Structure 1
Amino acid sequence: MRIFRHRIVTYFSASIFTSILFFGILTINLQYEIRELETVEDPNLSSQKTPNICKPVTSFGFVKNHKCGTMTLTTMFLRVADDHNLEIALPNNSAWKIDWPDPPKNLSPSRKPNRKFDVLVLHTMYQREIWDKIMETGYKRISILRSPYKQFKSYFVFFQVDVIVRYVNSMSDQGFDREKSQFDQFLENPEKYYNYMYSATKNVQAYNFGYNDTEKLEEKDRMENLFVKKLENEFDLMLITDYMNESLVLLKEHFCWNLKDVLSTFKNEKRRSVYYIDEETEKRREEIYRSWASLDYKLFDTFNKTFWRKIGKINNFQEKIASYREIADKVGQFCNHLLNANRQNVENKERVLIIDQNKNYWRENFTIDEKFCTISALKTINYVPKLQMARYGKSQPKTADSFLNSRLQKKGLPELFGGPFPWMRRRRGLNF
């Protein structure tokens, strides 16, 4: 934030002298000295060479959708909030979620006089009335969506839904079909597994916004349309995972944040699913899933159009996205090199990356150091305990996904996050 002081100092000097010329005139010499604007930097915020023409957003709630690149965004949001000493809603019984799949309730107390929070970004359910009670007045509501079929494939692999499919089929009269993948078996009859994995395979993105798929069939289409309209009215910004770089530039513009705030060390890797066969098969599968998760497609199609409309209103967006990509690549390479050197105990001479104002569109000066790289590379489940310890003097255990486990236990199925399958935890790199 810049403070501008306009100092105009006027010096008036009058000298009266006698002229011997034709009319004897008194001449007054006026001298004016006008000083240029003096800029005083606020040491609490990142430096910039161009004045802010908007006010940075410092209070927002983020609906964290599963398998939508939200771990990267959550770490980024937490880092920005911590850097600017914003009040973060942190759980008092977990290291990664706030009562999900329920609205936020078990929170460490806010340290602000009004007991409100500035930032809510961990896994929790969106419920407008509850969010309004705990968040600062005028907070922004944002989230991110992903192409539903891509999100479903990622979810299917990460949570190993194939275990459920294999188990359910092995208990049926038809037995287990070894000729087809569990992925294709699921798509052939998703209703068969619905009671086991409700909200994990059908409209899972809409579910996190509070949608409950209990309407009668004849009311389904109308209720879905009303739900989408409700979110259009309530959310200020919806990012799109499929266009992450564009999303971060859009976030910067709408939130009036510094360039450093929207940088991270994430790698936007494009990998084919293990279930990939060919494009024709993928199209057929997606059509099946579209009919199964129709609301997620309505959400995505609606907000994808809104996303590009917002981008279309940003001046010089192509120049900005090109500049962002260039800087993001430099930061990613620097941080990866630095952190790899640290892990291997190799001396790295370059400990700081200087971003010069002449090398980015926004003409911002800042530095990237080891602290930035280390924090940006943290997973949420490892970052939250550090924040809990720093702010409340204690951290919470890295608990398992009790929601999925409870649903599986009711059906007599093995837990995915513990019990007889500890190898599943190790495969995901979870440290609990």
Structure 2
Amino acid sequence: YYIILYYIILYYIILYYIILSITITIRTPEMKKPPHSDDNNDKYRVKSQADNTVMCQPKKHIVFLKTHKTASSTILNILYRYGESHNLTFALPLNMHSQLFYPAFFAAHFVEGVRTRSVKEFHVLCNHMRFSSQEVRKVMPKDAFYFSILRNPVAMMESLFVYYKAIPAFRAVKSLEEFLIQGGRSYNASVPNNHYARNILTFDFGLDNTAPENDTELDRRSAEVIAAMERDFPLILISEYFDESLVLLKHALCWSLDDVSSFRLNSRSERSRRPLSAEIADRVKEWNSLDWRLYQHFNATFWKRIDSTLGRTKLQQEVELLRAKRRNLEQMCLQEGGAVDPAQVQDSSLKPFQYGAAVIQGYNLRLELNNDTRQLCQRLITPELQYTSALYTKQFPQLAAAPFSPPKKKTGIDRWN
């Protein structure tokens, strides 16, 4: 009797565990395997505001619309150095020009290697041009990242007047104040090179820079300009917040702080700058009403982007790190620890081009640098024209060596600004 009872109990115990096992199997979902990790992605990590690690790859297809008198030459140097160190190919101007035939609308055949099809892939387009989305997309890959930079039109026009004093609109007056008080009487939009005198930011973006006739037209036209810019450019930097802009650019491109560390280039000495009164500043805003509207808009969206991505605290931390890196580079590279007037630049090959009444400063390198450090430092201080020429020679050695007759220029402005 006890033996039979024992086997009955054992039977029910086994049956219980079988049923329990089946129930657990049914209720427990299958664990998904983690996705395969790409070793290339693991190298680049960016932390969000919530400290969640986000993977990204550095962008190498880039379009930078280089605007005038906005610290864009420093951005150009950053792109040149990154591209050169990563063996990227630049969409350089035809025939060793420094610009893409500005102020004409950009056309694909302005780029060296397009007509001959000698270049299979362009990575970076960043020289002065008047933007044309349709033509740029003929040259650059579909995944290219587009960005540009703006400056407050008040400070920008003061700089433009000094640098482009020779243009017809400005040469008839003694000062910017006189030009504005006269209501721009010497300005004629149809005269070549006068585009520098009014709404030049709008002009550079390939849009109509003629002055609106009334507030209603200003509202409509400025909305159209802003919409066109937002459609083509996911990132607009602000010159007045240059270091903050570099941090934002670093995150947008998935680069490092070292990649965006830089010295100021094509910058005027303080003695060639003139402060403007509040009255004249208001006149500048009214004269450049389209540029003022788009600057106000993108200055606001700049900070909204920071607040929604990095946050102000994280931004300030990275700005301080960037400035510390710049100070270290200055101590390592520069004799005087900063910029000097052109007459004091010892190496003539590193003298920045001088135009108009502006005094464009340059740099002197320390003499005791080893070869590697000297190369690094020299790239940081090489002016735009010399660097563009060096990259052209590197990309197109046969063309650079061959004698050719560049087209005669009507004015130094179009070739060298």
Q: TM-score of the superposition, structure 2-length normalised? A: 0.70
State how far apart, in whole Å, the 2-side matches of 1:375 and 1:398 are: 28
State how far apart, in whole Å, the 2-side matches of 1:148 and 1:91 are: 28
Q: Is 1:224 paired with 2:222?
A: yes
Alpha-carbon distance change, 251 to 191 in structure 1, aligned in 2, over 3 angstroms: same
Question: What aligned pairs does 1:258-407 form with structure 2 within 5 A after superposition?
Answer: 258-266=256-264, 271=270, 274-276=273-275, 282-312=277-307, 313-315=309-311, 316-337=314-335, 347-348=367-368, 351=370, 369-393=373-397, 394-395=399-400, 402=409, 405=410
Count of aligned pairs: 337
Question: What aligned pairs does 1:12-411 form with structure 2 within 5 A after superposition?
Answer: 53-102=55-104, 103-104=106-107, 105-109=109-113, 115-161=120-166, 165-166=170-171, 168=172, 181-195=174-188, 196=191, 197-214=193-210, 217=213, 219-266=217-264, 271=270, 274-276=273-275, 282-312=277-307, 313-315=309-311, 316-337=314-335, 347-348=367-368, 351=370, 369-393=373-397, 394-395=399-400, 402=409, 405=410
Instruction: Note the alpha carbon deviations across 1:301-342, whole angstroms, 9 max, x for none.
Output: 111111111222205222111111111111123221399999
Instruction: Note the alpha carbon deviations across 1:122-142, whole angstroms, 9 max, x for none.
Output: 011111111111101111110
Q: Deviation of residue 298 (structure 1)? A: 1.1
Counterpart in the other structure of 2:17: none
Alpha-carbon distance change, 182 to 86 in structure 1, aligned in 2, over 3 angstroms: same
State how far apart, in whole Å, the 2-side matches of 1:209 and 1:256 are: 25
State how far apart, in whole Å, the 1-side matches of 2:300 and 2:143 are: 25
Q: Deviation of residue 89 (structure 1)? A: 0.2
Query: SS of the residue aligned with 1:239?
Result: strand
2:278 alignment partner AA: K
Query: SS of the residue aligned with 1:217?
Result: coil
2:396 alignment partner AA: Y
State how far apart, in whole Å, the 2-side matches of 1:259 and 1:74 are: 16
Paired residues of 1:95 and 1:398 also in contact (CA < 8 A)? no
Query: SS of the residue aligned with 1:314?
Result: coil
Paired residues of 1:187 and 1:285 also in contact (CA < 8 A)? yes
State how far apart, in whole Å, the 1-side matches of 2:180 and 2:247 are: 36
Instruction: Note the alpha carbon deviations across 1:224-245, whole angstroms, 9 max, x for none.
Output: 2111122122211111111111
More helix by share: 2
State how far apart, in whole Å, the 2-side matches of 1:390 and 1:256 are: 26
RMSD, aligned CA: 3.8
**% identical aligned pairs:** 24
Instruction: Note the alpha carbon deviations across 1:151-210, whole angstroms, 9 max, x for none.
Output: 1101111122588545x36xxxxxxxxxxx422110112431221453111101111001
Paired residues of 1:76 and 1:262 also in contact (CA < 8 A)? yes
1:143 alignment partner AA: S
Counterpart in the other structure of 1:16: none
Query: SS of the residue aligned with 1:155?
Result: helix
Q: Deviation of residue 114 (structure 1)? A: 8.1
State how far apart, in whole Å, the 2-side matches of 1:62 and 1:69 are: 13
1:290 alignment partner AA: K
Paired residues of 2:62 and 2:146 also in contact (CA < 8 A)? yes
State how far apart, in whole Å, the 2-side matches of 1:201 and 1:269 are: 19
Unmatched runs of 5 consecutive residues or more in structure 1: 1-39, 170-180, 353-367, 406-414, 419-424
Query: SS of the residue aligned with 1:337?
Result: coil
Query: SS of the residue aligned with 2:146?
Result: strand
Unmatched runs of 5 consecutive residues or more in structure 2: 1-37, 48-52, 339-344, 348-363
